[in-house]
Amino acid sequence: MPIPKKIPLRKCAATGEMKPKKEMIRIVRSKEGDVSVDPTGKKAGRGTYVSKTKEAVEAAKKKNVLARQLSAEVPASIYDELLEIVLKGES
DSSP code string of the chain: -PPPPPPPEEEBTTT--EEEGGGEEEEEE-TT--EEEETTS--SSEEEEEESSHHHHHHHHHHTHHHHHHTS---HHHHHHHHHHHHHHH-
> Tell me, which fold does domain 9-90 have in CATH?
Hypothetical Cytosolic Protein; Chain: A; (3.30.1230)
pLDDT per position as a tens digit, 21-42? 999 999 999 999 999 999 888 9
What's residue 57's pLDDT? 94
Whole-prediction pTM:
0.87
Choose among 42, 43, 60, 40: nearest CA to 51: 60
pLDDT per position as a tens digit, 53-80? 999 999 999 999 999 999 999 999 999 9
Is pLDDT above 70 for 91?
A: no
Q: Taking the domains of the chain in order of start, what are their residue ranges?
A: 9-90
Is pLDDT above 80 for 9?
A: yes
